[in-house]
Amino acid sequence: MSGAGRALRVTTLVAIAAVLLTGCTTSRTGGTSEVTAHQALLAGGVTSTRTEVGQFWFDVAPVGAAFGAPDLANVSLTKDVEVPVEYRKNGLEPATEYRYRACSRDTDGSSCGAVRTFTTPAAPSAAVSLGDSYISGEGGRWDGNSINAAGGRDGTDRAFTGTGYDTTLAYDPPSDTNGCHRSTVAEIRSAALPVNRTFNLACSGAATSNIFRAESGGAGQNGEAAQADQLAPVARDNDIDLVVLSIGGNDLGFAAIVTACVETYETLLTATCEESEGPGLAARFPQMRANVGKAIDEVRAVMAGLGYLRSQYRFVLQSYPSAIARGSELRVPEIDRVSRSTVDGCPVYDSDADWARDTVVNQIADSVRTVAEDRGVQFMDLRDLFQGREICSESTSLATPLEPPSGTTSEWARFLNVPQVVAQGTLEETFHPNAYGQRAIGRCLSLIYAQTGDFACHNTPGEGPAAVVLAPVD
């Protein structure tokens, strides 16, 4: 061998030795665990001929698709010692076979382990509602209003069996007895949504604190866990396509305001409800907006913890419809206190009806919309949905033996005729959407589900809940 040949051989051997001494990582692809419809925990190991901080990642993609950009993570390497690594992959789809491999690198190079596969379980598609009485379905027992306390109450009582009353016909048990009052026609139930299952986790009387997870200061209600905590097993076992939330009214003390307005009228007080309640209400809006924002964050935290990406489900935040008409649109004169209080069920001054309809409802809707924009969720504006269908509206009427209730002529909210409300059902049902109103909101939800962007819902004069239409929010 010539001198030049011997020199080349020596140089080559030295280079090979250098590679063997420094080397690069060896990656091992391990198994999977905690596999759900939307996430999986991937395991593996990394060995290096160096002691340093390296990096590892897992390539993951559906079978037949290319691996995407990896999520890199640091790993402390110890020379010639396998270091276990794991990675929780989120954003998976149900009933899908995935291929994956563990990869790593140190100063000298990178490596990837063998490709393995796993399959996510199938999960039924689902929609979930959370929030307060306006979405749980409080008042859903009633198709319109009647002053007849006997029998089927002129056809308005959906709980009437022909011989007695079964509240489970109107409210899903156990909510019929624990006070959550989840109506059998609540919007999530009556909406025509392209999902396999619907879940109503909302509860009458809920405030934002009843949405928050317990670990974030949330509280249960009526013997049930906080709603975000109830959401966790539902989201784990199903493929959630839609979350819809109605919340904030009870943070403002809305029920107390309604009570104050009624008392102002019935006790002949000269000061209006607006004068007594308006300043306190205005002061509560900033905290209400913060709390509603946190409620959205809490729901998202549950979903993210279960592997959902925000792009994998819709989130709709809705406002509130007005249950009462403007003073000029009430069918009973303000001076007729007997009819307003004990027949038609709208015992408030005209000015307070105006304040509730055109100020309070708008302030709440505008505040909710602000939160929706800030959190990047879809906004469903219900403020004008009941226009002409409110309690005592001149374009509606009470049901009678000769004029049965209908979605075209009856009110869409439970009236405030306190003696009749107590005799027929529960006081909590007053001032809430009745079965017609809930079907109308459900129709609105069906329509907005097919759209992107924010929309307001309106009824069609002379038509029933099925004729609800959308209009883009300005």
Give the model confidence (pLDDT) of 270-282 as tens digits. 788 999 999 999 9
Q: What number is the average pLDDT over the span 6-28?
A: 53
Average pLDDT value for residue range 426-434:
96
| Residue at 1 is within a domain | no
Phi-psi region of 91 (alpha: psi -120 to 50; beta: other; left: phi over 0): left
> What CA–CA distance (Å, rounded) separates 250 from 270?
27
Q: By C-alpha distance, which of 310, 282, 248, 287 is closest to 38?
A: 310
Q: Which residue has the higher pLDDT, 255 or 466?
A: 466
Q: Do 137 and 111 share a structural domain? A: no
Residues 348 and 395 in one domain: yes
Percent of the chain with pLDDT over 70: 95
Q: Which of 119, 135, 158 is the last residue of a domain?
A: 119
| 48 and 186 co-located in one domain | no
Of 67, 89, 119, the residue at which a domain comes to its end is: 119
> What is d(CA 302, CA 38) in angstroms, rounded to the nearest whole number?
13
Band (pLDDT 50/70/90 cuts) for residue 330 is very high
Residue 15 counted as domain residue: no
Which of 17-31, 250-264, 366-380, 409-423 bottoms out in mean pLDDT, i.e. has the lowest?
17-31
Which amino acid does the sequence have at 446? S
List residues bridging with 199 in a β-sheet. Answer: 128
**CATH number of the domain encompassing residue 46:** 2.60.40.10
Confidence tier at 23 by pLDDT (50, 70, 90) = low
- The verdict on residue 4 lying in a domain is no
Residues 115 and 131 in one domain: no
Mean pLDDT of the chain: 94
Is 80 exceeded by the pLDDT of residue 456?
Answer: yes
Whether 115 and 129 share a structural domain: no
**Is the predicted pLDDT of residue 401 greater than 90, yes or no?**
yes
What is the share, in percent, of the chain residues with pLDDT greater than 90? 93
Q: What is the pLDDT of residue 269?
A: 80
178 and 283 fall within a common domain: yes
In this structure, is residue 3 part of a structural domain?
A: no
Question: Hey, what are 5's tokens?
Answer: 């040949």
Tell me if 250 is assigned to some domain: yes
Task: Taking residues 333-351, report their average pLDDT.
Answer: 95
- CATH number at 213 reads 3.40.50.1110
Q: pLDDT per residue over 145-164, tens digit each?
A: 999 999 999 999 999 999 99
Based on the domain organization, do 263 and 290 belong to the same domain? yes
Average pLDDT over residues 15-43: 79
pLDDT over threshold 90, residue 94: yes
Would you say the pTM of this structure is higher than 0.85? yes
Predicted pLDDT at 10: 40
* CA dist 194 → 126, 127, 149, 240, 309 (Å): 9, 9, 39, 12, 20
Phi-psi region for residue 152, left (φ > 0), alpha (ψ -120 to 50) or beta?
A: alpha
Query: For residue 121, what pLDDT band results from cuts at 50, 70 and 90?
Result: very high
Model confidence at 48: pLDDT above 50: yes
pLDDT at 474: 81
Same domain, 408 and 449: yes
Residue 10 lies inside a defined structural domain of this protein: no
Q: Please give the pLDDT value at position 271.
A: 81
Tokens of 169: 């016909």
Same domain, 368 and 435: yes
Q: Among 100, 119, 138, give the residue marking a domain's end.
A: 119
* Res 446 pLDDT > 70: yes
Token pair of 365 as six digits: 């809707």
- The verdict on residue 16 lying in a domain is no
**pLDDT tier at 18, thresholds 50, 70, 90:** very low
Q: Is the residue at 391 inside a domain?
A: yes
Shared domain check, 167 and 94? no
Span 353-374, average pLDDT: 97
Could you tell me if 93 and 150 lie in one domain?
no
pLDDT band at 15 (very low <50, low <70, confident <90, very high): very low
Number of domains in the chain: 2
Range of the domain at 378: 125-472
Q: Output the pLDDT for position 419.
A: 92
Confidence bin at 24 (pLDDT 50/70/90): confident
Q: Is residue 457 pLDDT above 90, yes or no?
A: yes
For residues 63 and 156, membership in a common domain is answered with no
